[in-house]
Amino acid sequence: MTLQEFERSISVTFKNKALLEQAFIHRSFINENPRSGLEHNERLEFLGDAVLELVVTEFLYETYPHHNEGDLTAYRSALVNAVTLGKVADDLGFNDLMKLSKGEAKDVSRARSSILADAYEAFVGALYLDQGYKEAKVFISKTVLIKTEDIVKQGLYKDAKSFVQEKAQEVRSVTPAYRVLGEEGPDHDKRFRVGIYFGEELISEGVGKSKQEAETEAARAALIKMQWME
């Protein structure tokens, strides 16, 4: 899929095509192609993260007037975590649009899901700069907010690590263990890859900017894989 085809698929036409392109440029591509004259998407990701959080928070505040702050925070976390955003980005075809290093392009592990999630935020940032808050909100509503009802009904907002431990003990009579499988990136932008194990069986993996975040993502992935969502 080309960028033009992507624009048609989401019914948005960018005024600044360079912004659209930048949203899909991973740091690894720039490191491998330092003379490309292009910029990676991390500044856009920083902006898009803030826009996404505001849109989601505003929506939840208005949609669930009788739910407390703790519940709303849990709902928001479930909507904007790397598993959810990575799946949304994958469904939108972001994989075809990413500019990655040769090594990253070959990686189909859960690290790719994290890259796609970051790209989703970067795209939101680019869309906000190019089209404004209203269009960014429309896009987020169509791609992320539509998942809210299922997340609330199925209990996906619950603390993933506690939930998966409860289910693993109930169904498998085992307490999950987490192991760091790898670390990637420079010190200022480290990514941890963590596996969740039932005994010696690797159930799923998660990637995050901290070990805690990676463990949480691994737990969420395990809940989905084991079909333990309520």
**3 state DSSP class of 219:** helix
Query: What's the mean pLDDT in 107-136?
Result: 88
Percent of the chain with pLDDT over 90: 65
Candidates 104, 121, 130, 215; catalytic one: 121
* Stretch among 33-47, 53-67, 116-130 having the lowest mean pLDDT: 33-47
pLDDT tops 80 at residue 136: yes
Instruction: Report the sign of the C-alpha dihedral through residues 120, 126, 130, 131, in that order.
Output: positive
Distances (CA, A) of 114 to 17, 103, 220: 24, 15, 13
Query: What's the mean pLDDT in 112-124?
Result: 92
Query: What's the mean pLDDT in 210-220?
Result: 89
Burial of 223 (0-12, 13-18, 19+ CB in 10 A): buried
Highest mean pLDDT among 101-115, 164-178, 185-199: 164-178
Q: Does domain 3-154 have CATH number 2.40.50.140?
A: no
Q: Measure the CA–CA gap between 189 and 140, rounded to whole angstroms.
A: 26
- Condensed to tens digits (0 to 9), the pLDDT of residues 61-93 reads 999 999 999 899 989 988 998 888 999 999 999
Query: What's the mean pLDDT in 83-112?
Result: 81
Length in residues, the chain: 230
Q: What's the pLDDT at 108?
A: 57
In sequence order, the β-bridge partners of residue 205 are 195
Highest mean pLDDT among 32-41, 130-139, 147-156, 184-193: 130-139
> Six-digit token pair at 21?
């392109």
Candidates 7, 32, 39, 49; catalytic one: 49
> Six-digit token pair at 185?
């990136």
Q: Does domain 160-225 have CATH number 3.60.20.10?
A: no
49 is catalytic: yes
Question: How do the domains of the chain map onto residue ranges?
Answer: 3-154, 160-225
53 is catalytic: no
The order of strands in the sheet holding 191-198 is 177-184, 191-198, 201-208
Q: What's the pLDDT at 105?
A: 63
Q: Provide the whole-model pTM.
A: 0.74
